Amino acid sequence: MTPAPYAADPAHSRGRRHAEPADTARGPRDAFQRDRDRVIHSISFRRLRHKTQVFMAPDGDHFRVRLTHSLEVAQIGRTVARTLGLNEDLTEAICLAHDIGHPPFGHAGEDALKAALAGQGGFDHNGHTLRVLTAIERPYPRFDGLNLSWECLEGLAKHNGPVRHPGWAMRAADADYPLALDSRPSLEAQVAAMADDIAYDNHDIDDGLRAGLLSLDQLMAVPLVARGWAAVRARYPDVAPARLARELVRAQIGTMVNDLLDETRARIAEAQVDSADAVRATAHALVGFTAGMRDEERALKRFMYANLYHHPHQLAAAEAAWTIVAGLFEVYHADPARMGAEWGAVPADEPWRSRQVADYIAGMTDRYAVSQYRKTVGPVELPEGF
């Protein structure tokens, strides 16, 4: 398929923070393909297999984790990018890397680190993603970070839109390699953001049903889901409802993707953008739902917060996660040597002492954080199924 004129072009990339001699090239890949591959081969990406998506350190092997979620986001993102004539490799790289900055235990762990660093600049997973990819990952001999392309880093920084009030980690990344934080991101980054929403809106339904925290009867209170369920039941009237739950999820993803494609095409045509730079100059996002789907998707999110994310089981798990992360921070801050030789050489002055401790904890998987808490702090009671 011929790329659209407003697609990101690897041949015209703004480059990388650190120049790489041509003789170090490995294989016939362009800049954005290399970005994707560097993410996939990174230690931080591998650790996502044991980091929380919805359920913390789940006992069941069938629940989603950050790694499987990122792969599902990439699948949706590639489909949308291909249909719109955008660069699939850049879209995929952003999708795969977008959650690398999450600490253990998802948003509960993030909230605990944010509180621990309240006087030292705070913590947010999006800024930490940039920090991991530009400073903490160190697979190369002559520079820190993965040395991703400007377009990939820009997309990760701004996939949710211009960053008006960046935290300290994102400010540091931007100061080292300016990412034009006040402008719109590429269409590829915008697609990645919407693919993320579509993936977790629907796959969290699947996991919630599997865990028994949601029921099909409850879900019928959401008009979007109720219509989808009626259509699925009409297509398969002789199939048991329990077997149709995943068909509901698949159909709903298709409905949302088709709406997104129709609305995005209309916005692109109206804006008359003819280059990637023209996309960055637009006043509003060009990738998005119609007004009707936007309202229905928001209603679905409200339902999920009320009935799944804030379910008593989930709140108990979040409380345990807070205890673990806060306890680890206190112990490591008081005695950095407990973090080991690689991390234990901590600056004495703030905010860097606290930030390095947070860097170490943020890199942990759920199960490693639990084991380290028991080793360095003491016993901890975990909710059933944790």
* Any domain includes 122: no
According to DSSP, residue 306 is labeled I
* Any domain includes 253: yes
Residue range 170-226, pLDDT digits in tens: 999 999 999 999 999 999 999 999 999 999 999 999 999 999 999 999 999 999 999
| Separation between Cα atoms, residue 315 and residue 227, nearest integer Å | 30
Please give the structure tokens belonging to residue 386.
């944790």
Distances 186 to 77, 189, 370 between C-alpha atoms, Å: 13, 5, 39
* Any domain includes 134: no
Amino acid code (one letter) for 191: V
According to DSSP, residue 141 is labeled S
Distances 48 to 51, 103, 194, 362, 382 between C-alpha atoms, Å: 5, 9, 20, 11, 21
Distances 84 to 4, 11, 156, 262, 292 between C-alpha atoms, Å: 7, 19, 20, 10, 21
CA angle, 227 then 233 then 239, to 5°: 155
| Separation between Cα atoms, residue 88 and residue 74, nearest integer Å | 9
According to DSSP, residue 89 is labeled H
Output the average pLDDT for the chain: 95
Q: For residue 24, what pLDDT is reported? A: 59
Q: Which domain holds residue 214?
A: 192-313
Residue range 107-146, pLDDT digits in tens: 999 999 999 999 999 999 999 999 999 999 999 999 999 9
Q: For residue 378, what pLDDT is reported? A: 95
* Any domain includes 213: yes
Check: CB of residue 74 under 8 Å from CB of residue 92.
yes
Residue 197 C-alpha from the chain's centroid: 10
As a whole number, mean pLDDT of residues 325-337 equals 97
* Any domain includes 233: yes
Percent of the chain with pLDDT strictly greater than 90: 89
Q: pLDDT-based confidence at 63, cuts 50/70/90?
A: confident
* Any domain includes 5: no
* Any domain includes 41: no
Q: For residue 219, what pLDDT is reported? A: 97
Please give the structure tokens belonging to residue 115.
């509180």
Number of domains composing the chain:
1
| Separation between Cα atoms, residue 192 and residue 190, nearest integer Å | 5
Q: For residue 382, what pLDDT is reported? A: 84
* Any domain includes 251: yes
Residue range 29-45, pLDDT digits in tens: 999 999 999 999 999 99
Residue 16's DSSP bridge partners are 149
- Phi, psi of 364, rounded to the nearest 5 degrees: -70, 150
Residue range 216-245, pLDDT digits in tens: 999 999 999 999 999 999 999 999 998 999
Helices marked H in the chain: 31-40, 43-47, 66-84, 88-97, 106-116, 125-131, 150-158, 168-176, 187-211, 216-219, 223-235, 241-271, 276-280, 291-304, 312-334, 341-344, 352-362, 366-376
Q: pTM of this prediction? A: 0.96
Q: For residue 102, what pLDDT is reported? A: 97
The span from the first CA to the last CA of the chain, in angstroms, equals: 46
